């Protein structure tokens, strides 16, 4: 990059964008013009990279979420230009870190599903595979989280308030998407996805919903001002917010429209590009591999069949093309998350698509009868049943591959949850254990640790081949090396302490154990088990002055879905514990609790490197994989967790002795679930009884209308949709406490504790998304890596 040219561009963009000289701009504006200047260098490389895949089979990733995080540092790291640009800005008297902080996180995702999609895009570009991401350009993200009196309050995430320097609006690529009651324009915004080294730059194409007729002049002239912009508002609502509240039918309709909107637009895009070079669709599946990231884009199966039908392809042939084109990733075994849509809603909004689903269902039943499935058993496989469309069933039947995202998860799918499907189509089922990109989660998030690794290994090859980390294990017995590792960890803890003080107003002890649980707020992830343990420790400290614990800082980060009342009550409960514990001087700061506000990728990049303990405490068999567990591991934190998801494989790699595994296994839960009585369990556990009673006995300073009674009832009485203590919080509590006591005891021997942490880091090679993408590319998509720009 030419420094003089970059500087000149920055001055030009300052004038044309903000009407000011560069030196007079604030940090947000400086970030914007600097990013635009960098984009000018990226664009020609991007175009050249796309051309090298012409005529080759390409892969496409359909996902409702892409949790990208900030782009500036990630792009400069992958272009190998970060230090050069930092020096250039320093020469101009500009603090690069201030520009970095000025960038908003892209509001395009919420949890692991969206972050996985982002890691996959990074890995595919780094490995020189063509992978295009397709999704929605949410104007206001999922939401910006604020805490008011301990409660989560949602407001719009205005991440686009100053535009997006990294995206290009492609007016020439827009398409129409039609519902029964509405037609909208899908306008794509393209963002470059830069692979490490810059040889391949792929595309994230996000669709924005706009009106066909933006303004009704006649209505306006008649002074009906609301009607004049009604079509505009109705169209734009489709791409306003990720996962709108769907507690009422209006919300359900909006969610259904969102799913169909981005799927239809994306498939129309593929078909249009295909037709430029081909007169028919015989080789469509040989040129296009489309991955469905969970069931949100499952409507892609009937939609492709419908679109191909419009091109003159027979239903039977179109269905064959769809199966050969599509592959499906299953992310959950939770029955409530195996998506279903009401037939009534589909008929109301997507009647033509519904007709195709009926034909698919009939084709499937005929095929299964031919396979020897009895008439009686056929109903178990019905895509349309009891007034609902089973999107997971549609996804399995309508694709050639169904994969789980950790070996345990895939085994559960094959052996129990999807057993009947597996017996019918064993060749379609496979495992692809999730991974994370080391470029963002180590090189960017923890540069000192990255430099340390490079120094020990003598090269940077691990940045694109994380398996090389295993070579670090030979240093695990070297106390001097572990000492350097500890120094890096402590520096990150100090940075986090200062950031939390500035951001959250809580002063934490940097020498305490940083015990961190950061993930989506859901009951099965059992943030409440963590909270119960904190309250248990607090009670013991109050009751017994001789009770000695290693000082501990418990850090939470999570958003609860706006309509998920119980999850929001858990957030309030944890914040109430923080209020109680943090303000009690009698416990001498031995416990501190922080629930960080508006947790996202950028906050995560500060939290993972500073963690001493990784909380992965979901009920065994409920977490498909997890990727936070991998990020903690990569940054040198042992796991305290159950044998669930990828925890199983983490322990296989790093050793049981270097982690803290507790609680019921999947098999044990299966044995006791029908006879389990949490009330009886609680009666045998006085300390836990006191903790649970604190939900309703006045321990917390709540307003008269506030109560945690529903939380307590969910554990002891259950609800119409689940049994008491459905996630075995009470049953696993003692085992969790015991594991935590072991953590506290081990932490007293700093050298040995951090030796475990070092071994975890050195064992993280398997969990690179590079490995995962290689498996997708070779075993599902059958695409080639092209390492030069010349075909």
Question: Which positions are catalytic?
Answer: 331, 519-520, 525, 627, 631
SS (H, E, C) 399-451: CCCEEECCHHHHHHHHHHHCHHHHHHCHHHEEECCCCECHHHHHHHCCHHHHH
Distance CA 695, CA 627 (A): 31
The Cα–Cα gap between 397 and 401 comes to: 9
What is the rounded CA–CA span in Å between residue 499 and residue 603?
A: 10
Closest CA to 147 of 522, 524, 575, 459: 575
**Nearest partner of 764 among 615, 650, 606, 598, judged by Cα:** 650
Which residues, 6 or more positions from 44, have their beta carbon under 8 angstroms from its beta carbon? Answer: none
Q: Quick one: which of 103, 63, 108 has its CA closest to 240?
A: 108
Q: Round to whole Å and give the CA distance between 531 and 524.
A: 14
**For the chain, how big is the Rg over CA atoms in Å?**
27
**Contact (Cβ atoms closer than 8 angstroms) between residue 687 and residue 532:** no
Distance CA 774, CA 120 (A): 10
d(CA 365, CA 472): 55
Q: CA torsion, points 216, 221, 227, 230, in degrees to nearest 10?
A: 40
Nearest to 606 by CA among 450, 768, 447: 447
Q: Which helix (H) or strand (E) holds 356?
A: helix 351-370
How many Å apart are CA 346 and CA 375, to the nearest integer? 26
Q: Yes or no: say if 83 and 19 are a contact pair by the CB < 8 Å rule.
A: no
Task: Find where tokens 């920055």 sit.
Answer: 10
Contact between residue 40 and residue 16 where contact means Cβ atoms under 8 Å apart: no
Pair of tokens at residue 556:
């939470």
672, two tokens: 């006791």
Kind of pairing, strands 201-211 and 182-194?
Answer: antiparallel
Residue by residue, DSSP assigns 112-136 as: HHHHHHHHHHHHHHHTT--EEEEEE
Q: Are 553 and 594 in contact (CB under 8 A)?
A: yes
Two structure tokens written together for 83: 């230090």
By DSSP bridging, strand 552-557 and strand 288-293 are unpaired
User: In sequence order, which residues have a C-beta less than 8 Å from that of residue 401 and are 6 or more positions away?
Assistant: 327, 328, 428, 430, 780
Q: Are 605 and 454 in contact (CB under 8 A)?
A: no
| CB neighbourhood size of 765 (10 A) | 21
- CA gap 451, 132 in Å, rounded: 31
Cα(544)–Cα(766) distance, integer angstroms: 45
| Interatomic CA distance for residues 559 and 527, integer angstroms | 12
3-state helix, strand, coil in the chain (%, to 5): 55, 15, 30
Spatial separation of the C-alpha atoms in residues 173 and 212, rounded to whole Å: 15
Please choose, from the candidates 144, 128, 137, 123, the residue with its C-alpha nearest in 3D space to the C-alpha of residue 74: 123
Residue 307 has a CB neighbour count (10 Å cut-off) of 18
Separation between Cα atoms, residue 751 and residue 774, nearest integer Å: 37
In this structure, how many other beta carbons lie within 10 angstroms of the beta carbon of residue 202?
28
């Amino acid at each position: 990059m030419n420094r003089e040219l970059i500087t000149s561009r920055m001055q030009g963009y300052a004038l044309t964008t903000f009407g000011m000289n560069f030196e007079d701009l604030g940090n947000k504006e400086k970030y914007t013009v600097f990013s635009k200047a960098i984009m000018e260098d990226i664009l020609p490389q991007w175009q050249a990279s796309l051309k090298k895949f012409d005529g080759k089979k390409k892969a496409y990733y359909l996902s409702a979420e892409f949790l990208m995080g900030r782009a500036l540092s990630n792009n400069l790291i992958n272009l190998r230009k970060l230090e050069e640009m930092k020096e250039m800005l320093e020469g101009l008297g500009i603090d690069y870190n201030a520009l970095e902080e000025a960038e908003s996180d892209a509001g395009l995702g919420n949890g692991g599903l969206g972050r996985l999609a982002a890691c996959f895009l990074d890995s595919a570009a780094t490995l020189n595979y063509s992978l295009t991401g397709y999704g929605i350009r949410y104007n206001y993200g999922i939401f910006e989280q604020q805490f008011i009196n301990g409660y989560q309050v949602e407001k719009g995430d205005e991440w686009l308030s100053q535009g997006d320097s990294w995206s290009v609006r492609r007016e020439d690529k827009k398409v129409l998407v039609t519902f029964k009651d509405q037609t909208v324009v899908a306008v794509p915004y393209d963002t470059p996805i830069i692979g490490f080294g810059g040889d391949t730059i792929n595309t994230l194409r996000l669709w924005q919903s706009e009106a066909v007729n933006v303004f009704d002049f006649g209505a306006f002239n008649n002074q009906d001002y609301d009607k004049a912009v009604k079509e505009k508002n109705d169209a734009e609502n489709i791409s306003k917010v990720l996962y709108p509240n769907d507690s009422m039918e209006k919300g359900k309709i909006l969610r259904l429209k969102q799913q169909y909107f981005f799927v239809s637009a994306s498939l129309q895009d593929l078909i249009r590009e295909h037709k430029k070079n081909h007169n028919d669709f015989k080789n469509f599946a040989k040129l296009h591999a489309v991955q469905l990231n969970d069931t949100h884009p499952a409507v892609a199966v009937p939609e492709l069949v419908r679109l191909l039908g419009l091109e003159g392809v027979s239903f039977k042939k179109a269905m064959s093309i769809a199966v050969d084109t599509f592959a499906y990733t299953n992310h959950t075994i939770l029955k409530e998350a195996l998506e279903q849509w009401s037939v009534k809603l589909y008929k109301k909004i997507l009647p033509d698509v519904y007709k195709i689903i009926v034909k698919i269902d009939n084709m499937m039943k005929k095929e299964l009868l031919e396979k020897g499935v009895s008439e009686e058993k056929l109903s178990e496989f019905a895509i349309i049943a009891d007034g609902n469309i089973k999107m997971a069933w549609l996804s399995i039947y309508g694709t050639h591959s169904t994969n789980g995202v950790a070996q345990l998860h895939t085994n559960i799918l094959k052996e129990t949850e999807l057993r009947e499907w597996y017996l019918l189509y064993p060749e379609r089922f496979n495992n692809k254990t999730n991974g994370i990109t080391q470029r963002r989660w180590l090189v960017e998030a923890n540069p000192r640790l990255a430099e340390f690794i490079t120094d020990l290994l003598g090269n940077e090859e691990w940045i694109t081949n994380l398996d090389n980390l295993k070579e670090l294990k030979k240093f695990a017995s070297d106390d001097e090396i572990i000492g350097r590792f500890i120094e890096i960890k402590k520096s990150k803890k100090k940075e986090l302490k200062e950031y939390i003080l500035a951001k959250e107003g809580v002063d934490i002890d940097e020498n305490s154990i940083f015990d961190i649980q950061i993930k989506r707020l859901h009951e099965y992830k059992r943030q409440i088990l963590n909270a119960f343990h904190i309250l248990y420790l607090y009670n013991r400290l109050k009751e017994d002055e001789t009770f000695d614990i290693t000082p501990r800082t418990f850090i939470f980060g999570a958003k609860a879905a706006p309509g998920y009342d119980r999850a929001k009550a858990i957030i309030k409960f944890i914040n109430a514990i923080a209020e109680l514990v943090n303000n009690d001087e009698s416990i001498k700061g031995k416990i501190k609790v922080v629930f960080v506000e508006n947790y996202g990728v950028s906050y995560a990049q500060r939290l993972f490197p500073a963690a001493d303990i990784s909380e992965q405490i979901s009920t065994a068999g409920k977490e498909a994989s997890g990727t936070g567990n991998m990020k903690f591991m990569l940054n040198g934190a042992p796991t305290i967790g159950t044998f669930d998801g990828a925890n199983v494989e983490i322990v296989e790699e790093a050793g049981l002795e270097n982690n803290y595994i507790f609680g019921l296994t999947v098999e044990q839960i299966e044995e006791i679930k029908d006879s389990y009585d949490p009330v009886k369990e609680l009666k045998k556990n006085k300390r836990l009884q006191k903790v649970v009673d604190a939900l309703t006995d006045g321990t917390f300073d709540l307003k008269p209308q506030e109560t945690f009674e529903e939380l307590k009832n969910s554990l002891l009485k259950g609800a119409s949709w689940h049994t008491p203590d459905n996630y075995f919080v009470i049953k696993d509590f003692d085992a969790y406490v015991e594991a935590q006591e072991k953590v506290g005891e081990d932490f007293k021997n700093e050298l040995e504790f951090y030796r475990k942490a070092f071994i975890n880091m050195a064992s993280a090679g398997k969990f690179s998304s590079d490995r995962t993408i290689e498996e997708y590319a070779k075993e599902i998509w059958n695409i080639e890596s092209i390492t030069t720009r010349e075909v």
